[in-house]
Amino acid sequence: MLPTIRGRVAWVFQEPNFDIDLIVGVDHMKTQEIDILKSVCMTSYDARFPDEVQPGDVIVGGANFGYGHPHYPSCRALRALGVSAIIAESFSPGFYRGESSNGFPLIECPNVSTTVKRWQTVAFDWDNETLTIAETGEKLACQKVPQKSKDLILTDGIIGYLKQVRLSKQ
């Protein structure tokens, strides 16, 4: 079953073309230690972020989120802190491919960054591809999630996907 995405909005990035590397900072592009990555995650936006974030929270992004030359540590840090999905106006293609291959739910939802507020609770409905804001009841239509992305989430990333979906058929 696809994971339930229902959680607080831990941060809203409204800026377009957001460079994902800024989440842990360029000094940590090569950092592997997950505890360090967790401790610096988002701290240039909110110093208390690693303490405030809770499992199930989501990050909201603007248009072309992940633009540039995205590296993997930022999303590793977000996931390790329990962030369950990124919901953005749209994603940069390289970022989308890289992180969906890691089995990370990335949902494209036009208008999300100007509609939801930090700490509101949102829920994503996989069947109807809509995002509901719990506090207001407002529903936002999202883009269709490609089947491959769903398979990658279900199988926990590319290696699981290859084993369970692709190579098992051969």
Q: Which residues bind another protein (CB under 8 A)?
A: 16-17, 19, 21, 26-27, 29, 63-64, 67-69, 90, 92-94, 97-98, 101-102, 146-148, 158-159, 161-163, 166-167, 170
User: Which CB sits closer to another protein, 22 or 80?
Assistant: 22
Beta carbon nearer to another protein, 4 or 17: 17
Closest separation in Å from C-beta 52 to another protein: 27
Q: Which is nearer to another protein, 127 or 170 (CB)?
A: 170
Q: Of 7 and 95, which CB lies nearer to another protein in the complex structure? A: 95
What is the three-state SS of the chain? CCCCEEEEEEEECCCCCCCHHHHCCHHHCCCCCHHHHHHHCCCCCCCCHHHHCCCCCEEEECCCECCCCCCCHHHHHHHHCCCCEEEECCECHHHHHHHHHCCCCEEECCCHHHHCCCCCEEEEECCCCEEEECCCCCEEECCCCCHHHHHHHHCCCHHHHHHHHHHHHC
Q: How far is the CB of 68 from another protein (least distance, A)?
A: 6
CB 21, min distance to another protein, A: 7
Question: 20 or 140, CB closer to another protein?
Answer: 20
Buried b (16+ CB within 10 A) or exposed e, 85-108: bbbbbbbbeebbebbbebbbbbbb
Q: Could you tell me the smallest distance in angstroms from the CB atom of residue 15 to another protein?
A: 10
The least CB distance from residue 27 to another protein, in Å, is 6
